[in-house]
A and B are shown apart, each in its own frame.
Chain A
Amino acid sequence: MSLSQSYRGRSRYRSDYVHGLDQLLVAVTCRAEGSADVIPALLDTGAEWCVAAPALAAAFGWSDGERIADATLSTRFGSMEGYLARVSLLLPALEGSDVRVEATCFIAEHWPGPLVIGWKGCLERIRFALDPVDESFYFADL
C-alpha cells in the first residue's frame, strides 16, 4: 500500500479571509477562463454546488441570461432561487501546472456571500490536499 499521492500544481490558501461578516476558513484563489482577474473563493467540501452571485457570473461570462436549469436550493443563507450554469474555472499554480475545471455553479439570485467552490460539479473530480504548515493548496486533474 502506498500513501503517496502526486499533484499537478500548488498554490496558497488563506485561512480566516474576511468577507463582510463572514470569515472564510479556507479561501483559495481562482480565475475565470479567459480573464486574468483573481477571485477568492471559499473552498467548501460541505457545499453541494459551487455558488456565485449574479454580478460575478455576468462579469465573467458565466451566464448568457438564459435560465433553463432553474432551481431553488437550500444554502447557508436559506432557500434561494437561481439556476445552474456551466462555468470554466482555472486554479492558478504558483508551482507546477494550473488546472482548468469545467464546473457547474449555482447562480443564486440574492447570494450575499463569496464565490464558493463546492463538491458536486467541481471538487468531486479534482484530487486536492491542504497543508497547514505553509498553507499550501495542492491540486491535480484525475
Chain B
Amino acid sequence: MGDAALTTRRASELSRSLTRLRSMVEQGNIEGARAFTRDLERQWPEDARVREWSRVLAPPEAESTGQSTGRGMDREFGWLEEHAHEHPGCWLAVVGDCLVASDADLARVRAALSRERIEGALIHFQPAPPR
C-alpha cells in the first residue's frame, strides 16, 4: 500500500472514530467516551480534534483558592423578584437594589459595567414571555 493510500485510510479511520465518540457522548455513555478518548490519544496524539475531545471529556478539576470573595446577594435577588419582569428579553446587571445596566445584548451590558467600573454585579437574563 502506498503512502497516500495509507494516509487516506488513516484519515478515514480517524473520522469514523470521532463519529463514534460523538455518538457515545450523545447517548450519555460518558465513561465509555472517556476511555475511548484515551485510545484515540494514543493513536492520534497530534490531532487537534482528538485533543479537544480529550480536553472537554476530562474529569473536572477543582481547587480551593484560599480566598473568600463572595458577598451576600439578598438585595440583588430581592430587586429581581420585584422588577425583573419589567425588562423582558433583556440581560440585567443589578448591584444592591439598583439596576445598573440592561440590554438585549449581554456584551453591551458588560461593556457598560466596564465603562462605569462597576464590579460584582448580579447578571440575570429575563426571558420574554412566549407569544
Where the two chains meet, the residues of A that have a C-beta atom closer than 8 Å to any C-beta of B are 8-9, 11-12, 14, 17-21, 29, 31, 36-40, 48, 53, 55-56, 58-59, 66, 68-73, 84-86, 90, 92-104, 112, 114, 120-122, 124-126, 140-142
Contacts and interface: CB of A to CB of B under 8 A. Distances in A.
Contacts of A85: 56
Given A21-B129, A90-B65, A121-B56, A71 B106 contact: no
Given A69-B56, A71-B26, A121-B60, A97 B68 contact: yes
Interface residues of B, number: 51
B68 A95 contact: yes
A86 B68 contact: no
A48 B27 CA distance: 11
B115 to A, nearest CB: 14
Contacts of B93: 37
Given A55-B91, A73-B26, A38 B65 contact: no
Given A37-B113, A125-B61, A126-B62, A20 B68 contact: no
Q: Chain B contact residues: over half helix, strand or loop, or mixed?
A: mixed
Nearest to A56: B106
Nearest to A14: B77
B70 A141 contact: no
B56 A84 contact: yes
Interface stretch (B7-15, B38-46, B120-128): B120-128
Interface of B: 22, 25-26, 28, 30, 48-49, 52-53, 55-73, 76-77, 80-81, 84, 91, 93, 105-107, 110, 113, 119-127, 129-130
Contacts of B73: 12, 14, 29, 38
A141 B62 contact: yes
Contact of B60 (A20, A31, A97, A102): A102
A102 B30 contact: no
A18 B81 contact: yes
B64 A98 contact: yes
